[in-house]
Chains A and B, each alone.
Chain A
Amino acid sequence: MFTKPIHTKLLYLAILAAALLLPWYVPDAYIFQIVTMSILYAVAASGMNLILGFTGQVTLAHGAFFGMGAYGVAIMTKAGIIFWLALPVSALIAAFIGLLIGLPTLRTRGAYFAIVTLCFGVIVWIVSGNWVELTGGHNGIFGIPRPSPIPVPFFGQIEFFSQTSMYYLSLAVLLLVLFALYRLVYSVFGLTFMAVRNNEPLADSVGINTYATKLISFVAGNFIAGLAGGMYAAIMGAVSPSAAGYMLTFNFLIFVILGGMATLPGPVVGAFAIPVLMEFMQFLDDYRMLIFGALLIVVIIYFPMGLVGGLRRLNQKVAARRQQKVSESGHASR
């Protein structure tokens, strides 16, 4: 029902192989750190894409839910709770607070939800900078312990002291999240998300509880954001209010929109390509944001499915031309 052509599968395999072998050809610790961060941003942006891209609900609090995961892990592990418990609990807290925000706001259609989430995002950021007892205020929280080793029978144990092991852990989380999203999105259940985005009154009339559908999407997306945030805290070893800030939300938003809304690879491509692009545009200084703003508008109007959507269109054109050639030569030989 939902199969991909063979060369697309091969491309994904090649990317996976390159990702698995990365520690062998990127020895630079700085770049390594950036790649690991991009993976976590890709995870968070994928969660935002579920809400924004697939379900069409404009959430502007994604950075806040990322921050809840980060602060959750920071506070709990500092209190002596092991990382492997603190991580899922933090993600669940983010999901639960998302539920509380979604319950009153997702009943309505239109801009209301966007405005409330925007305000909520700013509030969480302010609280994270000022609730000194809990969050350490503007200085944040330092000295977050690394995840404890996992014992493996006959093998010894997997330790998480090195950057490499944290990289693999992040990669595993990304793959797991993408796998889960793949199952959810490419199914009849996933079609209900798109039905809500595309035509809510019609979705209502064919027996879909659109309110519940939006809630599930929002809660699941925030769970993913919390997961990414929790990983971030453990890798950085420190969190500060910028890990819960609205600037983070806008970064995720740019990754999703430029990478490709409502496509699974889109946010991942965005999370890797945009920082590189930013780096290249360093010389433009503050004009960078101006150009990004213009780029965002052009993409939204002409490439609603972003980079990935553009590539797909190109791919289809090539495939169509090839088919045409095949059928022409077929006629000639007859």
Chain B
Amino acid sequence: MLRVESVTKRFQGLVAVQDLSFEIIKGEILAIIGPNGAGKSTVFNLITGTLKPTSGQIFINELDITGAWPHQVASKGISRTFQTTSLFDQLRVIDNLMIGYKWRTKLGFWNTLFHTPRWKAHQAETYQRAMETLKFLGLAEKHDQFVPALSQEEQKRLAIGIALVCKPQVLLLDEPTGGLIQEETDRVTDLIRRVREQGTTVCLIEHKMQMIMGVADRIVVLNYGKKISEGSPAEVQSDQAVIEAYLGGEVHA
């Protein structure tokens, strides 16, 4: 459903992503792995319009979204989280989620100023969807709190929720369990499985091999911006190129 076609990204001199092609298939959990600096986060930034590719194209359901603005990409049903947990930390938990749903509504300037019937309906719908998402995340009783009052794991969940509240087609997660201990990692992994079960396709970047092998249907391996392997967890694990890349570089738990 989401296709990356021979995409290259060059930063002055440094080639962060090189002639990369892969596809995210509807309904799957696809993992992107690779050593530090392999270009994983850059791939997400290219898909979501945060960065413009030097060359190559990106399609969602055969619609070309190369070079679109981030908010346009989001409104095509592509949501993402950031590697360093990114939240609206001056606002309440429920506000964070309502902001994430806004683009699906007609809650613009005039409707809000004049409290039109449409405004009433959409404002209520937004609140309801935000609460529904909070329940899904297990954060319902925290809806009134401000973000800094949440634990690290809760913040990671909330970040996923902000991306999920608008019912996206594809959810891109950049290290959703980064910095969490084993027990917390298991719970977030479980959440990711439930996200897929309720119909959202997932693509995630992770370093934690054990977690990846357990949750991913397919894996794409990057090294120095190039795809060096792709396949099921078992296939990737026994791929000579992958083993060399990891033994050559840093080894991650």
- A residues lining the B interface (CB < 8 Å): 1, 180, 183-184, 187-192, 194-195, 197-199, 201-210, 216, 220
Contact present for B113 and A184 (CB under 8 Å): yes
Residues in B74-111 with C-beta less than 8 Å from chain A? 74-75, 79-80, 82, 86-91, 95, 98-105, 107-109, 111
Most B Cβ at <10 Å: residue of A1, A188, A191, A192: A188
Write the nearest CB–CB distance from B105 to chain A, whole angstroms: 7
- B166: nearest chain-A partner, CB-CB: A207
- A189: nearest chain-B partner, CB-CB: B112
9 sampled A-B residue pairs with Cβ under 8 A: A188-B98, A188-B102, A188-B107, A194-B95, A197-B90, A198-B88, A201-B70, A202-B88, A205-B163
| Residues of A close to B163: CB separation below 8 A | 205-206
Contact present for A189 and B86 (CB under 8 Å): no
Most B Cβ at <10 Å: residue of A190, A201, A207, A208: A207
Knowing that A189-B112, A198-B91, A208-B99 touch, tell me 14 more A-B residue pairs with CB under 8 angstroms.
A183-B115, A189-B107, A191-B91, A194-B88, A194-B95, A197-B90, A198-B88, A199-B87, A201-B82, A201-B86, A205-B74, A207-B166, A208-B102, A209-B71
Contact present for A202 and B166 (CB under 8 Å): no
Q: Contacting A210 at CB < 8 Å: which of B71, B80, B113?
A: B71
Contact present for A188 and B50 (CB under 8 Å): no
Write the nearest CB–CB distance from A253 to chain B, whole angstroms: 21
Most B Cβ at <10 Å: residue of A189, A199, A201: A189
Quick check: is B18 within 8 A (CB to CB) of the other chain?
A: no
- B residues lining the A interface (CB < 8 Å): 48, 50, 69-71, 74-75, 79-80, 82, 86-91, 95, 98-105, 107-109, 111-113, 115, 119, 122-123, 126-127, 162-163, 166
| Residues of B close to A209: CB separation below 8 A | 69, 71
Q: How far is the CA of A43 from the CA of B87 in the complex (A)?
A: 32
Write the nearest CB–CB distance from A202 to chain B, whole angstroms: 5
Q: Per DSSP, are chain A's interface residues mostly helix, strand or loop, or mixed?
A: helix
| Residues of B close to A192: CB separation below 8 A | 99, 102
Contact present for B102 and A205 (CB under 8 Å): no
Q: How far is the CA of A204 from the CA of B74 in the complex (A)?
A: 8
Contact present for B127 and A189 (CB under 8 Å): no
Contact present for A207 and B90 (CB under 8 Å): no
| Residues of B close to A205: CB separation below 8 A | 48, 50, 70, 74, 79-80, 82, 163
Contact present for A184 and B112 (CB under 8 Å): yes
- B74: nearest chain-A partner, CB-CB: A207
Most A Cβ at <10 Å: residue of B88, B98, B126: B88
Contact present for A191 and B86 (CB under 8 Å): no
Write the nearest CB–CB distance from B1 to chain A, whole angstroms: 18
Contact present for A206 and B113 (CB under 8 Å): no
Contact present for A199 and B86 (CB under 8 Å): yes
Q: How far is the CA of A209 from the CA of B127 in the complex (A)?
A: 21
Write the nearest CB–CB distance from A291 to chain B, whole angstroms: 30
| Residues of B close to A216: CB separation below 8 A | 109
Write the nearest CB–CB distance from A85 to chain B, whole angstroms: 22
Write the nearest CB–CB distance from A199 to chain B, whole angstroms: 6
Q: How far is the CA of A230 from the CA of B208 in the complex (A)?
A: 63
Write the nearest CB–CB distance from B92 to chain A, whole angstroms: 10
Q: How far is the CA of A102 from the CA of B88 in the complex (A)?
A: 25
| Residues of A close to B126: CB separation below 8 A | 188
Write the nearest CB–CB distance from B45 to chain A, whole angstroms: 10
Q: How far is the CA of A203 from the CA of B88 in the complex (A)?
A: 9
| Residues of A close to B48: CB separation below 8 A | 205
Write the nearest CB–CB distance from A217 to chain B, whole angstroms: 10
Write the nearest CB–CB distance from A60 to chain B, whole angstroms: 23
Write the nearest CB–CB distance from B33 to chain A, whole angstroms: 22
Write the nearest CB–CB distance from B182 to chain A, whole angstroms: 28
Write the nearest CB–CB distance from A190 to chain B, whole angstroms: 7
| Residues of A close to B86: CB separation below 8 A | 199, 201-202
| Residues of B close to A207: CB separation below 8 A | 71, 74-75, 100, 102-104, 166
Known A202-B86, A205-B48; contact A187-B103, beta-carbon cutoff 8 A: no
Contact present for A191 and B109 (CB under 8 Å): no
- B109: nearest chain-A partner, CB-CB: A216
Write the nearest CB–CB distance from A294 to chain B, whole angstroms: 26
Q: How far is the CA of A180 from the CA of B112 in the complex (A)?
A: 9
CB-based closest 6 A-B pairs: A207-B103, A207-B74, A204-B70, A189-B112, A206-B100, A198-B88
Q: How far is the CA of A183 from the CA of B110 in the complex (A)?
A: 10
Q: How far is the CA of A199 from the CA of B85 in the complex (A)?
A: 12
Contact present for A204 and B50 (CB under 8 Å): yes
Q: How far is the CA of A208 from the CA of B69 in the complex (A)?
A: 10
- B122: nearest chain-A partner, CB-CB: A188
Q: Contacting B87 at CB < 8 Å: which of A188, A190, A191, A202?
A: A202
Write the nearest CB–CB distance from A210 to chain B, whole angstroms: 7
| Residues of A close to B119: CB separation below 8 A | 187
Q: How far is the CA of A190 from the CA of B71 in the complex (A)?
A: 17
Contact present for B112 and A191 (CB under 8 Å): no
